[in-house]
Amino acid sequence: MAGKVVLCFTTSRRYTTLSGDASFVKRAGGLGLIIARSPGYTLTPCKDDFPCVAVDYELGTDILFYIRSNGSPIVKIQPSRTIVGQPVGTKVATFSSRGPNSISPAILKPDIAAPGVNILAATSPNATNNAGGFAMYSGTSMAAPAISGVIALLKAMHPDWSPAAFRSAIVTTAWRTDPFGEQLPADGSSRKDADPFDYGGGLVNPEKAANPGLIYDMGPKDYILYLCSAGYNDSSISQLVGKVTVCSNPKPSVLDMNLPSITIPNLKDKVTLTRTVTNVGPVDSVYKVVVEPPFGVRVVVTPKKLVFNSKTKRVSFKVRASTMHKINTGYYFGSLIWTDSVHNVTIPVSARTQILQNYFDEN
């Protein structure tokens, strides 16, 4: 390796792999390292400013062909510099938590996505790979402050809104494509187009969230509905809320929680659920529904038009979903949109068909 730049292929995504390989090459007298791997998100430099770069397998293979086809392959090492141009493609990172919700499958998780990869962050001067107290960090610890900052700005604009109202505002106005209108990909064991189990409502859009038009608000009754549907007894719920509370019989459905999403984990035949929206836009507003149903699922919304005025600020609607699948399926995704031609209040819809009958021939 002495006096050469080494090309190395690896299946590992970890930064320690890149750093460790660079150390081996350096000790062997090498001048630099090119490591080919699955697409990653780290931009951390190698230790001691040793020249190294990570590329994907395709580019690594191109470099390998170049080496094998050229008697004297050449690589040029130059000082780092900033290149200004088109933004890097938006995608869901490999480490991002994914749905479905294992505790309450009828509640969509995650709710929202935010920038959390290679964020310039203040850190301890004693931290590894910091420069003057700053470093590039990735993770939920970077995305969560971004959402918190957006909520703080919304709170200043709408001090009387509830936490549920803020969640609704960011979910119903989120981006579901990149700035160029392209579908967002999701990195993982295999790369695919992102769906609500990857990003919830989408990528947070602060400007749109400030003026969502309609919100799916929730209060104590909605949270009690959830506790009842989850099977908590009256005594436990009463102690929690500080007053005598009795769950209805039959117990309520978690599908009726006023969430800015609809997830039906066991669609056997048909189901009807209710949502209520509150107008936070112009007083006299009229919204029409647009449904993009999940594949093989029929979705009917009634009424198809919501009319608001000075006396009517909250309106409920029903959603009836039925399956056209004849066998069990995985999740399929769609959207339910209320639009007044200015606001597009969008919630994700997901459904999975669960047929109890056995369709196999038993001969």
Q: Are strands 344-353 and 185-186 parallel, antiparallel or unpaired?
A: unpaired
Look up residue 180 and give its DSSP letter.
Answer: T
Residue 54 neighbours by CB distance under 10 Å: 23
Closest residue by Cα to residue 262 from 147, 151, 346: 346
Exposure string for 129-142, b = 16+ CB within 10 A, e = fewer:
eeeeeebbbbeeeb
Tokens (6 digits) for 107 = 């509640």
CA-angle at 123, arms to 121 and 126, nearest 5°: 150
Angle between helix 140-157 and helix 163-172 axes, rounded to 10 deg: 110
Q: How does pLDDT run across 123-171, given as a tens digit for each residue? A: 888 877 778 888 888 888 899 999 999 999 999 999 999 999 999 999 9
Q: Does the pLDDT value for residue 360 go beyond 70?
A: no
Helices (H) and strands (E) in the chain, counts: 8, 16
CA-angle at 114, arms to 329 and 10, nearest 5°: 75
Look up residue 21 and give its DSSP letter.
Answer: H
Q: Does the pLDDT value for residue 279 go beyond 60?
A: yes
Amino acid at 62: D
Instruction: Output the pLDDT for position 270.
Output: 92
Q: Does the pLDDT value for residue 262 go beyond 90?
A: yes
How many CA atoms lie within 13 Å of 267's alpha carbon, on the beta-carbon side? 30
Residue with tokens 């809320």: 241
pTM value? 0.84
